[in-house]
Amino acid sequence: MTITYAQAISVHEQADLLVSGETIAKSIETMAADITATLSKEMPLVLCVLNGGLIPMAQLLLKLQFPLETDYLHATRYGKKTVGTNLSWLARPSIDINNRTVLVVDDIYDEGHTLAAICEYLKEAGAKKVYAAALLNKVHDRKVDYVPDFIGLDVEDRFVYGFGMDYQGYFRNVDGIYAVKDM
């Protein structure tokens, strides 16, 4: 079901701002410093997990002042839904990852199924080392046995959107992290 303009506006007007754009910017600076300390001499391949990782990765790349290559992949459990299901691959990296150091950048580390599966796929495909970065860590006890190497911020266990994450396909473009009311 597609939401209407009025429904989308209503959701956003009622949503709670959890993290401001300024706080996100500071967090990205910290992540970039940590990533630089770890990967600056590796000439890594940095992979964006579409669609949610697009804005966090773009902001992060501007802070990584060392040689790197970029590409993307598109794997999702959510689509336009609010609940995840089986992992679906829509696009795999086009650059050869064999014997490469790879950094995967995603929007959120929720339960970890998607990010863990992506990193496992990259290892099996021949990557020398695989690191993962997520802008957000949703705090709860339903996680798989996997933790990203770089995490920006913790957020409460609510349905969040903004800064790359969507609500039913919309609002990836808002500067900040918002939580849908009563969800």
Active site (catalytic) residues: 110
> Is-contact 147 139, C-beta < 8 A?
no
DSSP strand pairing (69-76 vs 129-138): unpaired
Helix (H, G, I), strand (E, B) or coil at 139: coil
Residues shown for the chain: 183
What string of DSSP letters covers 82-93? SS--S-EEEE--
- The CA distance from 146 to 106, in Å, is 14
Tell me the residue type at 147. V
Lookup result for tokens 């959510």: 78
